[in-house]
C-alpha cells in the first residue's frame, strides 16, 4: 500500500515546519500547484493546519500510550502519529483504517520501518478512545490555565496571560476561534467591479460571502481564488479584512507623500497607492530585498499605480530628506492575532520575546514619527493581541515625545465609515481606550491593533538605503 498524495504533501510540509522553521501557509502555497487535484489539496491543507493547531492535545492523547514523551521520538514518527490521530479524532469522513495504515506507510517511507509497529499499535489504541471527550482523560485537579491549554491546544503561559486580561469566558472564545479554519478573505480592487467579480468566481465554481467588516471585501470557499481569472487579471487580492482596514485609518488623500514601512508583502501598500493617486508619492520599505522582490510581483499584478521600493532597517534613522504626509508602520510582532492562520506561531513564541519586540517597536515608531510633516498622520499597527506590542508601545512613545498626539476616536471612526459593510458599526472596532482592535472571536478576522497618531518634528540625520529597482508600476 502506498501513501496518498495529500498525506505525503502534509507529511513533508509538517516536517519542514518543524525542522526548518518554515511557515505552513507559505509551503502549502508553493506546493499546491494547479497540477495537484483539488481534493488532494484540500485534504493536505486540512491535515497540515489541523495537526499544527491541535499539536498539544494530540501529543497529550498519544502519550497515554507511549513510554516516553513525544518530544523524544524521531520527528517522522511523531508526525505520522499526530497525523493519524488527527484524522481519527477530527475527520469523520476519513476511514480509521486509512488513517492508521497510511501513517504506518509514512513512517516506512521515511526509513523508520522499525517504528512501524509502534505507530500501528498506538493509533489502534487511540482509535478505541477517539469518541471519548479529551477532558475525561484529565485529572480533576489540573489548574485552569493548564486544562484550557491542553484541551484547546495552546501554550499554558499564553492562556495564563489571556485569563488575567480577558477573563475565562473571553479567553475560551478566543482559544476556540484560534482553532477554527479562518475565513479566506479577499478584496476587490475597485468596488465598481464587485458584482462582476463575484459572478466570475461563481462561474469558476467558488462560493462567496459578503465581507464581515468592509464593503470591498468578501470571503471565498470551495476552491482557490489564485486559480481564477479575477486574480490573474489583478481584480482581487487575498487579505484578511482587519488587515484591509488598517491602511484606511490613514485617510490618505490624493497627492499625499506616503511612506509604508515594513511594507512586504504589500497588501496594505496597494490601498495607499490608490488613495494617493497619480499626483502622490508612495515609498514602500522593507529590510529584506527578497521580500521586496516578491512584493513587486504582487504590485505589478494589481496594476494599482507607482511605488518606489526601498530596502532599509526601520529601527535606524531613515534616509529621506523630505517628510511624509502619511506613514504606515505595520510593525513586526508576535503574530498572536493570527494563530488560526499561522498555528505554528503558538509553539515557537516564548513569553520573553514580547519584551524584546516592544523595544524594537518603540525604536521603529520613534524613527517613523520623526518623518511626519506638521499635521501629518501615522498609523502604528500589529497583528498581535498583546499589550506590550500594542498600546504600551504607543503610550510610551507619546509620553516621551510631546509633539505627538492621538487622533480623537470619533475622527478615526469617521474615516472608516464610508468603507464599512452595511450594518457594521465603526464603534465595534474601537476599544474604550480609543484604539482600533479586532479579535478572531468577535469579528471573525485576524486580531489587529492600530493607533492613529499625529505629529510634527525634525527628521533624524539620514542614513544610506538601497532602492530596489527605483520604482514599480503597481
Q: What is the per-residue pLDDT for 461?
A: 42
Domain boundaries, the chain: 5-135, 185-238, 241-473
pLDDT, average across residues 52-77: 95
Q: What is the pLDDT of residue 34?
A: 86
Other Cβ atoms closer than 10 A to 180? 12
Contact predicate 41/35, CB 8 Å: no
| Choice between 437 and 474, residue whose per-residue pLDDT is larger | 437
Higher pLDDT, 417 or 305: 417
Q: What is the pLDDT of residues 112-147, one digit of tens each?
A: 988 999 999 999 999 999 999 999 999 999 999 999
First to last CA, the chain: 49
Fold of 5-135: N-utilizing Substance Protein B Homolog; Chain A (1.10.940)
| Helix pair 75-90, 5-20: axis angle to 10 deg | 130
**CB-based contact 43:93 (threshold 8 Å):** no
Residue 349 predicted with pLDDT over 50: yes
Is the pLDDT at 427 greater than 60? The verdict is yes
- Continuous H helices in 180-266: 194-203, 229-232, 241-245
Residue-level pLDDT at 250: 97
Give the CA radius of gyration of the chain.
24
What are the cell numbers at 244?
484591509
pLDDT of 169 strictly over 60:
yes
Q: For position 213, what pLDDT does the model report?
A: 97
Helices 55-62 and 75-90, axial angle in degrees (round to 10): 100
209 secondary structure, DSSP code: E
Give the model's confidence band at 406: pLDDT under 50 very low, under 70 low, under 90 confident, else very high: very high
The residue among 213 and 306 whose pLDDT is bigger is: 213
CB contact at 8 A, 23 and 342: yes
pLDDT band of residue 472 (cuts 50, 70, 90) is: very low
Mean local confidence (pLDDT), 48-64: 97
Res 119: pLDDT: 96
Mean pLDDT of the chain: 93
Q: Which residues are catalytic?
A: 383
| pLDDT tens by residue, 20-55 | 999 999 999 999 988 999 899 999 999 999 999 999
For 443, phi then psi, to 5°, come to: -105, -5
Given a cut of 50, is residue 459 above it in pLDDT? no
Is the pTM higher than 0.75? yes
CB neighbours (10 Å) of residue 290?
10
Across the range 340-345, mean pLDDT stands at 97
Which pLDDT does position 462 carry in this prediction?
A: 42
The yes-or-no verdict on residue 374 having pLDDT over 50 is: yes
Any idea which fold 185-238 has?
A: Alpha-Beta Plaits (3.30.70)
Percentage of the chain modeled with pLDDT above 90: 86
Assigned CATH topology for domain 241-473: Rossmann fold (3.40.50)
Residue 473's pLDDT band (cuts 50, 70, 90): very low
Amino acid at each position: 500500500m502506498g501513501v496518498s498524495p495529500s498525506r505525503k504533501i502534509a507529511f513533508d510540509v509538517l516536517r519542514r515546519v518543524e525542522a526548518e522553521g518554515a511557515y505552513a501557509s507559505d509551503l502549502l502555497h508553493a506546493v499546491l500547484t494547479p497540477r495537484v487535484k483539488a481534493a488532494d489539496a484540500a485534504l493536505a491543507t486540512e491535515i497540515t493546519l489541523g495537526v499544527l493547531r491541535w499539536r498539544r492535545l494530540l501529543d497529550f492523547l498519544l502519550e497515554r500510550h507511549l513510554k516516553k514523551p513525544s518530544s523524544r521520538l524521531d520527528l517522522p514518527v511523531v508526525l505520522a502519529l499526530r497525523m493519524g490521530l488527527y484524522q481519527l479524532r477530527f475527520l469523520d469522513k476519513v476511514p480509521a483504517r486509512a488513517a492508521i495504515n497510511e501513517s504506518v506507510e509514512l513512517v516506512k517511507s521515511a526509513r523508520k520501518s522499525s517504528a512501524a509497529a509502534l505507530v500501528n499499535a498506538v493509533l489502534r489504541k487511540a482509535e478505541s478512545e477517539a469518541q471519548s471527550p479529551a477532558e475525561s482523560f484529565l485529572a480533576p485537579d489540573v489548574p485552569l490555565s493548564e486544562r484550557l491549554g491542553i484541551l484547546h491546544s495552546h501554550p499554558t503561559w499564553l492562556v495564563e496571560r489571556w485569563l488575567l486580561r480577558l477573563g475565562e469566558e473571553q479567553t475560551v472564545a478566543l482559544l476556540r476561534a484560534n482553532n477554527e479554519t479562518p475565513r479566506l478573505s479577499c478584496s476587490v480592487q475597485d468596488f465598481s467591479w464587485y458584482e462582476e467579480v463575484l459572478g466570475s468566481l461563481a462561474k469558476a465554481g467558488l462560493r462567496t460571502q459578503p465581507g464581515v467588516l468592509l464593503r470591498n471585501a468578501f470571503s471565498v470557499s470551495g476552491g482557490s481564488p489564485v486559480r481564477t481569472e479575477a486574480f490573474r487579471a489583478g481584480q482581487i487580492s487575498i487579505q484578511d479584512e482587519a488587515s484591509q482596514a488598517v491602511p484606511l485609518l490613514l485617510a490618505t488623500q490624493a497627492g499625499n507623500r506616503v511612506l509604508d514601512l515594513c511594507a512586504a508583502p504589500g497588501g496594505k501598500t496597494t490601498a495607499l497607492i490608490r488613495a494617493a493617486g497619480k499626483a502622490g508619492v508612495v515609498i514602500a520599505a522593507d529590510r529584506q530585498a527578497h521580500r521586496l522582490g516578491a512584493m513587486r510581483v504582487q504590485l505589478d499584478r494589481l496594476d494599482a499605480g507607482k511605488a518606489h521600493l526601498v530596502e532599509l532597517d526601520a529601527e535606524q534613522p531613515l534616509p529621506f530628506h523630505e517628510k511624509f504626509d502619511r506613514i504606515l508602520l505595520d510593525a513586526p510582532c508576535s503574530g498572536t492575532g493570527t494563530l488560526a492562520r499561522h498555528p505554528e506561531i503558538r509553539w515557537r513564541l516564548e513569553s520573553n520575546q514580547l519584551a524584546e519586540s516592544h523595544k524594537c517597536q518603540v525604536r521603529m515608531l520613534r524613527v517613523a514619527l520623526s518623518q511626519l510633516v506638521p499635521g501629518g498622520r501615522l498609523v502604528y499597527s500589529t497583528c498581535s493581541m498583546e499589550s506590550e506590542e500594542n498600546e504600551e508601545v504607543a503610550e510610551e512613545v507619546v509620553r516621551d515625545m510631546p509633539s505627538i498626539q492621538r487622533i480623537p476616536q470619533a475622527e478615526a471612526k469617521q474615516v472608516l465609515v464610508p468603507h464599512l459593510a452595511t450594518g457594521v458599526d465603526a464603534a465595534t472596532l474601537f476599544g474604550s481606550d480609543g484604539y482600533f482592535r479586532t479579535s478572531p472571536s468577535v469579528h471573525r478576522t485576524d486580531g489587529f491593533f492600530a493607533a492613529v497618531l499625529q505629529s510634527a518634528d525634525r527628521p533624524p540625520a539620514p542614513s544610506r538605503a538601497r532602492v530596489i529597482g527605483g520604482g514599480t508600476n503597481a
